[in-house]
Amino acid sequence: MSRHVLALSGGVGGAKLAAGLAAVLSPDDLTLVVNTGDDFEHLGLTICPDIDSVTYALAGLNDTVRGWGVKDETWQAMAMLRALGEADWFNLGDRDMGMHIARSWRLRAGDTLSQVTARLTGELGIAHAIVPMSDAPVRTQIGTAQGWLDFQRYFVAEQCRPVATGVRFEGASDAVPSPAFAAALAREDLGAIVVCPSNPYLSVDPILSLDGVRSALAGRRVPVVAVSPLVGGASLKGPLGKLLGELGRPVSNASIADHYGDLLDHLIIDEADAADVGGLRDRGLSVTVCPTVMCHAGDRERLARVALIAAGIETG
C-alpha cells in the first residue's frame, strides 16, 4: 500500500504542520525533510534554525508564546557573550545553545548533519525521521542593493528591511539530497508529498533546488499537496508578503500556485481566502478551503488530516 508521506518543511509554520503529521502518522509512514538553507555558522556554532524548529515542535519543547525557540528559555550565555564584546545580533537562548553545542561538536568530530540530527532527535524521544534536506551546505542569500546578503543577516540583523531583488541558494546545484531524503524519494510505497505552509521562496525552494530533486518529485506520480502559507491575502509570519511584492508578484495564492507550477496537484488555502478558489481551479489545481491557522495541537492535527485526505492517504 502506498502510504508513505514525504513532507517538505521550513521553520515555524512548517514545523507546526510537521508536528501535526507526526501526531497522525506512524514513524514508518512519514519522512520530514527540512530546509537547511537558513543554516549558518555563528560564534563557532552550526545553527540550523529550521531543523531545530521542527525538532522542538515534535518534542513539545517549542515556545508557543514567543513563537520560536525553546520554552522556559533563559538568555544568560548571550548576556555573557555581550559582556565579552561578541556579536549579539542573533539571540541564542541557553537551552537552544545546548542544542547548537551538541550539534557543532559532533559535526566537527566527523558525523554528517543527517547522523547528528538522527541522534539528537532520537535522544529527545522523537520517533519520526527529521531529515536535513542535504548533508552538504546550502546557503540561502537575498539579493539587495547592498549585494547578496546571507539569509540570517537579511532576516535577523536587517529584519528583512532591504528590498529583495532576488533569492539564490549557494551550493544547491552541487548538493545532493541527504540519504534519507533520497531514500524517501525512491520508496516504492511513497504515497504523497506534502509541502508544509512555509515560505515557497525562502524555505521550500532550497529543497527543490537540490541536485535532482525537482525531477525526482515530478517523476513520482503521487499527489503533491501544499498548504498555503498565506492567510487573508497576507503572510501570517515572516517576510513572504513583502518579498512577493518586491519580486513583482501579487500577494495571493495565485502566486503560490504559479511558483510551484506543474509540481503541485492540490493547494489547501485558508477560509479567509475562499475567494481565490475559482482562479486556482482555473489553473487546473484542486483546492481545499479550511482553517489553516494552527494555534493548538488540535489545529495542527486537523490540518494534517485535511492534507492527508487531499493526498488520498488514510489515517487511523
Residue of the chain from 74, 91, 159, 165 that contacts its own copies (CB under 8 A)? 74
- Closer CB to its own copies, 87 or 157, in the complex: 87
- Closer CB to its own copies, 129 or 269, in the complex: 129
| Least Å from the CB of residue 147 to its own copies | 23
Residue of the chain from 5, 7, 47, 120 that contacts its own copies (CB under 8 A)? 120
* Torsion angle (degrees, nearest 10) of CA 293, 270, 226, 309: 90
Interface region with its own copies, contact rule CB under 8 A, candidates 71-79, 188-196, 264-272, 283-291: 71-79
- Closer CB to its own copies, 121 or 228, in the complex: 121
| Least Å from the CB of residue 99 to its own copies | 6
Chain residues 145-184 in contact with its own copies, contact rule CB under 8 A: none
Interface size with its own copies, residues (CB under 8 A): 33
Residue of the chain from 2, 23, 102, 115 that contacts its own copies (CB under 8 A)? 102
Is there binding between residue 43 and its own copies (CB under 8 A)?
yes
Residues 263 and 286: their CA atoms lie apart, in Å, by 13
Is there binding between residue 83 and its own copies (CB under 8 A)?
yes
Phi and psi angles of residue 5, each rounded to the nearest 5 degrees, phi first: -110, 130
* Distant-in-sequence, close-in-space partners of 50: CB < 8 Å, separation ≥ 6: 9, 10, 11, 14, 15, 34, 35, 36, 38, 39, 203
Is there binding between residue 247 and its own copies (CB under 8 A)?
no
Of 259, 49, 83, whose CA–CA distance to 155 is shortest?
49
Phi and psi angles of residue 31, each rounded to the nearest 5 degrees, phi first: -120, 120
DSSP-derived secondary structure for 58-124:
HHT-B-TTTSSSBTT---HHHHHHHHTT---SS---HHHHHHHHHHHHHHHTT--HHHHHHHHHHHT
Interface region with its own copies, contact rule CB under 8 A, candidates 72-80, 143-151, 154-162, 228-236: 72-80
Give the pairing of strands 147-150 and 139-144: antiparallel
Kindly list the distances between the CA atom of residue 11 and the CA atoms of 34, 48, 55, 57, 221, in Å, as whole numbers in the listed order. 8, 10, 10, 10, 27
Is there binding between residue 105 and its own copies (CB under 8 A)?
yes
Is there binding between residue 127 and its own copies (CB under 8 A)?
no
Residue of the chain from 2, 115, 119, 249 that contacts its own copies (CB under 8 A)? 119
Name beta bridge partners: 219.
none
In this structure, which amino acid lies at residue 108? R
| Least Å from the CB of residue 123 to its own copies | 4
Question: Which residues of the shown chain bind its own copies in the complex (CB under 8 A)?
Answer: 43-45, 70, 72-74, 76-81, 83-86, 93-99, 101-102, 104-105, 108, 119-120, 123-124
